[in-house]
A and B are shown apart, each in its own frame.
Chain A
Amino acid sequence: MTTIRPFRCDDLFRFNNVNLDPLTETYGLPFYLQYLAHWPEYFQVLESPSGEIMGYIMGKAEGSGEQWHGHVTALSVAPEFRRLGLAGKLMNGLEDISEKKQCYFVDLFVRVSNKVAVAMYEKLGYSVYRRVLEYYSGEVDEDAFDMRKALSRDKEKKSVIPLPHPVRPDELD
Chain B
Amino acid sequence: MASRSHVDINERRLRPIYDCLDNGNNKKAIQEADKVLKKQKDLTCAKVLKALALLRMGRHAEGSSLLSTIHQSEPTEEQTLNAMSICYKETQQYDKIASLYDAASKQQPNNEDILSCLFMAHVRLGNYQQQQRTAMQLHKLRPKKNPYYFWAVMSIVMQAYQNEQLGKTMFLPLAEKMIKKYIQEDKIEAEAEIHLYLIILELQQNWTEALQVLEGPLGAFLGNELHSKETRLATICSKLSKWDRVSSIYKQLLDQMPDNWDFWLKYQEAVFHLVEDSYTDMKQEPSSDDSTPNTHAHLEAMQKFIEDKIQSMQNGVMMRGPYLAEIEFVKQISIRKLTTTSINQKSALELLQEYFQHFGNKSSCYNDIKLYLDLLQAQELDQLVEFMKSDTGLESSDGSLIYARDVNQLTKHLVYLQLTRTMGKHSLLSIQEALALSQELLLRYRDGLQFGKELLPTDIQYSDNYLLLAVHLLLDVWSKTKDDVHLWRAIVHLELAIRDSVSNYQIKLLLIRLYCRKGVFGPCPALYDGMEIKHIMNDTLGHIVSNDVIRLGHFMEAGTMYATMVRFFVVNQKEASEHLMSSYKFGSFGRIHEFVQFQERLDNSLQYHTASTEKMLLELIMQTDRHESTEAAADGMNVHPLTDKTIDLSKLCDNRDLTLALAWDPPELLCATENRQKSFEEEKSWLLLRWTLLHVLLLAVMVGQEMAGVGVVNGNEENTEKKSPLKLLRQRAKDLQNCVQQCQGHKQPNQYHVVQGPSRTRLAEFVSGPHITAVTSVIDCIEYVYSLSQSGLDECPDVKVWALVKDSTQKLVLKDVQGLLKDCDGKRQLDSLALEQLVASVESVSYITIMLGVCSKGLKILKNDWLKKFKKNKASHNSQPEIFDKFNQLILDVSASTKELHQIASCLDPVFSSLDIASLRLADIPDEEQIQREAERLVWTKVESSVQQSSGEICEVLHHKQFYLNTLML
Report whether chain A binds chain B: yes
Report the Cα distance A48→B598, complex, angstroms: 23
Please determine whether B579 and A30 come into contact, CB atoms closer than 8 angstroms. yes
Interface residues of B in 578-598 (CB under 8 A from A): 578-579, 582-583, 586, 588, 590-591, 594-595, 597-598
Please determine whether B583 and A37 come into contact, CB atoms closer than 8 angstroms. yes
Q: How far is the CB of B533 from chain A (nearest CB, A)?
A: 8
Please determine whether B598 and A3 come into contact, CB atoms closer than 8 angstroms. no
Report the Cα distance A123→B740, complex, angstroms: 63
Inter-chain contact count A-B, CB under 8 Å?
Answer: 138
- Chain B CB count within 10 A is highest, among A6, A49, A114, for A49
Interface residues of A in 35-50 (CB under 8 A from B): 36-38, 40-41, 44, 47-50
Please determine whether B579 and A34 come into contact, CB atoms closer than 8 angstroms. yes
Q: Chain B's interface: helix, strand, loop or mixed, by majority?
A: helix
Q: Which one, B241-249, B456-464, B673-681, is touching chain A? A: B456-464
Please determine whether B578 and A49 come into contact, CB atoms closer than 8 angstroms. no
Please determine whether A1 and B260 come into contact, CB atoms closer than 8 angstroms. yes
Report the Cα distance A115→B455, complex, angstroms: 10
Please determine whether B572 and A80 come into contact, CB atoms closer than 8 angstroms. no
Please determine whether B657 and A16 come into contact, CB atoms closer than 8 angstroms. yes
Q: How far is the CB of B622 from chain A (nearest CB, A)?
A: 28
Q: Which one, B278-286, B319-327, B641-649, B689-697, is touching chain A? A: B319-327
Report the Cα distance A23→B455, complex, angstroms: 14
Interface residues of B in 35-52 (CB under 8 A from A): none
Interface residues of B in 627-686 (CB under 8 A from A): 655, 657, 660
Report the Cα distance A9→B653, complex, angstroms: 15
B22 at the interface (CB under 8 A from A): no
A79 at the interface (CB under 8 A from B): yes
Q: How far is the CB of B598 from chain A (nearest CB, A)?
A: 4
Chain B residues whose CB sits within 8 angstroms of the CB of A10 once the complex forms: 598, 601
B421 at the interface (CB under 8 A from A): no
B496 at the interface (CB under 8 A from A): no
Please determine whether B582 and A38 come into contact, CB atoms closer than 8 angstroms. yes
Which residue of A37, A44, A81, A114 is within 8 Å of B586 (Cβ)?
A37
Closest B residue to A115 using CB positions: B456
B900 at the interface (CB under 8 A from A): no
Closest A residue to B372 using CB positions: A49
Chain A residues whose CB sits within 8 angstroms of the CB of B590 once the complex forms: 40
Report the Cα distance A36→B582, complex, angstroms: 10
How many residues of chain B have a CB within 8 Å of chain A?
Answer: 57
A1-B319, A13-B655, A37-B582 known; A29 vs B536 contact (CB < 8 Å): yes
Please determine whether B539 and A83 come into contact, CB atoms closer than 8 angstroms. no
Please determine whether A49 and B368 come into contact, CB atoms closer than 8 angstroms. yes
A17 at the interface (CB under 8 A from B): yes
Chain A residues whose CB sits within 8 angstroms of the CB of B579 once the complex forms: 30, 33-34, 36-37
Please determine whether B594 and A1 come into contact, CB atoms closer than 8 angstroms. no
Report the Cα distance A2→B325, complex, angstroms: 12
Chain B residues whose CB sits within 8 angstroms of the CB of A114 once the complex forms: 456, 458
A73 at the interface (CB under 8 A from B): no
Q: Which one, B76-84, B170-178, B359-367, B851-859, is touching chain A? A: B359-367
1/0 per residue B337-378: CB within 8 Å of A? 000000000000000000000000011100110110000000
Q: How far is the CB of B675 from chain A (nearest CB, A)?
A: 17
B755 at the interface (CB under 8 A from A): no
Closest B residue to A27 using CB positions: B535
1/0 per residue A42-61: CB within 8 Å of B? 00100111101010000000
Report the Cα distance A48→B320, complex, angstroms: 11
Please determine whether B572 and A83 come into contact, CB atoms closer than 8 angstroms. no
Please determine whether B459 and A40 come into contact, CB atoms closer than 8 angstroms. no
Please determine whether A34 and B582 come into contact, CB atoms closer than 8 angstroms. yes
B394 at the interface (CB under 8 A from A): no
Chain A residues whose CB sits within 8 angstroms of the CB of B571 once the complex forms: 28
B94 at the interface (CB under 8 A from A): no
Q: How far is the CB of B763 from chain A (nearest CB, A)?
A: 25
B223 at the interface (CB under 8 A from A): yes
Besides A16-B657, A30-B578, A33-B595, 8 new A-B residue pairs in contact (Cβ under 8 A), listed by A number: A1-B264, A2-B321, A10-B598, A21-B458, A34-B582, A41-B226, A47-B261, A116-B459
Please, could you name 30 A-B residue pairs with CB atoms under 8 Å apart, sorted by A?
Answer: A1-B320, A1-B321, A1-B324, A1-B325, A2-B259, A2-B321, A4-B226, A6-B228, A8-B594, A9-B595, A9-B597, A9-B598, A10-B598, A13-B536, A13-B655, A16-B660, A27-B535, A29-B536, A37-B583, A37-B588, A38-B586, A49-B261, A49-B371, A50-B370, A79-B460, A84-B362, A96-B226, A114-B458, A115-B456, A116-B456
> Which residues from chain B sit less than 8 Å from chain A, CB to CB?
223-226, 228, 259-262, 264, 317, 319-321, 324-325, 362-364, 367-368, 370-371, 456, 458-460, 503, 505, 531-532, 534-537, 539-541, 571-572, 575, 578-579, 582-583, 586, 588, 590-591, 594-595, 597-598, 601, 655, 657, 660
Query: Which A-B residue pairs are the 7 nearest by beta carbons?
Result: A1-B321, A3-B262, A9-B598, A33-B579, A41-B225, A20-B505, A80-B363
